[in-house]
Amino acid sequence: MSFFDFTVNNLEGRQQSLSPYKGKVVLVVNVASECGYTPQYAGLQKLQDAYRAKGLVVLGFPCNQFGGQEPGGALEIQACSAKFHASFAVFGKVEVKGAGQAPVYAFLTAKHPEPKWNFTKYLVGKDGQVLESFPSKVDPEGPELKAAIDKALAAAQ
């Protein structure tokens, strides 16, 4: 099983395969529009811009499980992305932990901790396996995350 084997709902509610991202390094983030970490949208976009040519993509999965901080629908989520000039892909709202956990998050958390809050980050290698996870407090442009991305991008497929 690989991250790229999953199909998820896009923000408009239509099913979308994650297979087009195969061979890329993917940073998966559970985003929220009304969180203290929401300004990380800007840093995530900068990260994708800086590493896109090398093969990194950022994917956002809105989640309302932490403090009800993603209460809106697709239009509100899109407005939040636009506010931070973020153009990375954002999918439909999911549950990232508990009984209703989305299958893609069950995969991400099989060997890594479930998110404890919004903006938890999972780094997925080119082979579709989860390499590392990072808590909310890890800044998208911080050295810890950038080092892990550099290592993942340098890895042979």
CATH at residue 14: 3.40.30.10
Would you state the pLDDT for residue 156?
64
Given a contact cutoff of 8 angstroms between Cβ atoms, the answer to whether 83 and 101 are in contact is no
Mean pLDDT score, 82-105:
96
Instruction: Indicate the pairing of strand 56-60 with strand 25-29.
Output: parallel
Q: How far, in Å, CA of 97 to CA of 152, rounded?
A: 26
- Give residue 34's domain range: 3-154
3-state helix, strand, coil in the chain (%, to 5): 30, 20, 50
Strand (E) or helix (H) holding 58: strand 56-60
Q: Which residue has the tokens 């958390």?
A: 109
Would you state the pLDDT for residue 124?
98
Instruction: Kindly indicate the confidence band of residue 155, based on its pLDDT and cuts at 50, 70 and 90.
Output: confident
Q: How far, in Å, CA of 124 to CA of 112, rounded?
A: 12
pLDDT digits (tens, 9 = 90+) for 95-153: 999 999 999 999 999 999 999 999 999 999 999 999 999 999 999 999 999 999 999 99
What does the mean pLDDT of the chain come to? 96
Catalytic (active site) residue 35 = yes
Residues 6+ apart with CB under 8 A from 58: 26, 27, 29, 44, 45, 47, 48, 88, 89
Looking at residue 27, the DSSP 8-state letter turns out to be: E
Count of domains in the chain?
A: 1
Would you state the pLDDT for residue 23?
95
Given a contact cutoff of 8 angstroms between Cβ atoms, the answer to whether 102 and 94 are in contact is yes
Marked catalytic residue, from 11, 27, 31, 35: 35
Residue among 33, 56, 32 at smallest CA distance from 46: 56
Q: How far, in Å, CA of 67 to CA of 152, rounded?
A: 32
